[in-house]
Amino acid sequence: MRRFEFVAGTSNKFWEISQSDTEVTVRFGRIGSEGQTQTKDYGSWEGAAERVRKLVAEKLKEGYMEVAGSGPRPETEPGFRTPPVLPRYEVPLLPADGPLKLGGVSLPRGRRLSGSTEFAPMGVTPIDEPVIWATDDLVEDAGRMLHLLRQPASARNLVPVLLAGMEHEPNRPWDSHEFCPTDPRRAVLVDVGAELASAWGGNFETDDEFDSERLDSVRPFGKTFPGLARPASLDHIIDDSDVLSQIRGRRIGLIAAARPAEVLAATGWVGAVNVYDDPALLSAVLRSWEVRWNAYLVEVGFDTLTLTVGNPPRDDKTSLAVAAEHCAFCSDNIWQGSGNIAAYARELAGSPTWQFWFD
């Protein structure tokens, strides 16, 4: 049993949670009272464990504090694994403000951008150093420049990305400092399969008509996440230079990170905050996609992401499996896009780009 308390102002509440096989029991009320108890069966140990994890995360976000000694976390709890002791994170050195020449590529004047601790994920230590160097103005042939910058930037532990803003407020989120840098190494501590399974299940938490419509839209799948997709081959990788050459008129950013997948955690991107309370979870998924699909983050907007895909799914079965991952990662691609997962899968087959928008 784990106990959490919230004591602030006139609030003096407790909340407890425990799991017994497939059942989850919560007890809550004013501190000193017996409170109310509710028990629900989730049909499987995994489903119950995922529900425990999600409810705990919600309570922590609401400001509840766990009472020391209330009970150990189970070693098999999905999501973040017990973190190892990491050495102090050293932020890679960013270029100085001004025009930049890197590996024979000349960029117009740019500057280092700092984040704001206001946007720090709960319980995560923010980094108060700048982690972004960004051009002040749009670069006309931005995609081609990004391609040319990859190798020289990597030698300095930097990742080039295209930076987009809101349609009517292009300065957001970068110049408005609506991000909070964090240690990107945290992404390797995430169980990607468990996180996607949790996100998938979160789409079907009630038994109302809305849930029924969503279930219809993800057939042949049901309420249980089908698992991570497997690429058929890694023998035919598509170069993304042609795709990038078509992207024009973007700011170019150099991010202090080791690989594109780390950009979201390193910058502390909050574009998906309505879905994920920690960008390290997104970085973990992107890292998995880099390995399996040669999918690399190339553009980050206020609430949008664009990836180029070197090894896209090509057959119907694999495309459908990847579509399930996308639905778990960013369900708005389905609910506010294709309408159903089968139609979305057909769009993925052979596509050299993946795009995500978080409502």
Task: Map out the domains of the chain as residue ranges.
Answer: 2-66, 99-189+228-357
Task: Give the whole-angstrom CA distance, residue 133 versus residue 256.
Answer: 8
Task: Give the whole-angstrom CA distance, residue 313 versus residue 351.
Answer: 8
Task: Give the whole-angstrom CA distance, residue 348 versus residue 152.
Answer: 31
Q: How confident is the model at residue 257 (pLDDT cuts 50, 70, 90)?
A: very high
Q: Which of 59-68, 145-154, 324-333 has the lowest mean pLDDT?
A: 59-68
- On average, the pLDDT of the chain sits at 88
Q: How confident is the model at residue 286 (pLDDT cuts 50, 70, 90)?
A: very high
- Asked if residues 251 and 134 have their Cβ atoms less than 8 Å apart, the reply is yes
Contacts for 272 with CB less than 8 Å, ≥ 6 apart? 279, 282, 303, 330, 358
Say yes or no to pLDDT of 264 above 70.
yes
Q: How confident is the model at residue 316 (pLDDT cuts 50, 70, 90)?
A: very high
Q: Which two tokens stand for residue 73?
A: 């976390």
**What does the radius of gyration of the chain's CA atoms come to, in whole angstroms?**
22
Mean pLDDT of 248-262: 96
Bridge-partner residues for 190, per DSSP? 80
Output 186 or 306, whichever has higher pLDDT: 306
Place domain 2-66 in its CATH homologous superfamily. Answer: WGR domain (2.20.140.10)
Contacts for 101 with CB less than 8 Å, ≥ 6 apart? 107
For the chain, percent of residues with pLDDT exceeding 90: 57
Task: Please name the amino acid found at residue 248.
Answer: R
- Asked if residues 250 and 162 have their Cβ atoms less than 8 Å apart, the reply is yes
The overall longest dimension of the chain from CA atoms, in Å, is: 70
| Torsion from C-alpha of 323, 230, 263, 63, nearest 10 degrees | 70
DSSP secondary structure code for residue 287 in this structure: H
Task: Give the whole-angstrom CA distance, residue 125 versus residue 53.
Answer: 21
Task: Give the whole-angstrom CA distance, residue 217 versus residue 313.
Answer: 21
Nearest to 326 by CA among 275, 280, 278, 277: 275
Task: Give the whole-angstrom CA distance, residue 117 versus residue 178.
Answer: 9
Task: Report the sign of the C-alpha dihedral through residues 237, 242, 247, 248, in that order.
Answer: positive
Say yes or no to pLDDT of 47 above 80.
no
Segment 185-231, tens digit of pLDDT = 988 888 888 889 888 888 876 655 556 778 888 999 988 899 999 88
Q: Which two tokens stand for residue 263?
A: 């950009």
- Give the per-residue pLDDT at 60: 81
- Give the per-residue pLDDT at 34: 82
Task: Give the whole-angstrom CA distance, residue 14 versus residue 63.
Answer: 11
Segment 106-165, tens digit of pLDDT = 999 999 999 999 999 888 889 999 999 999 999 999 999 999 999 999 999 999 999 999
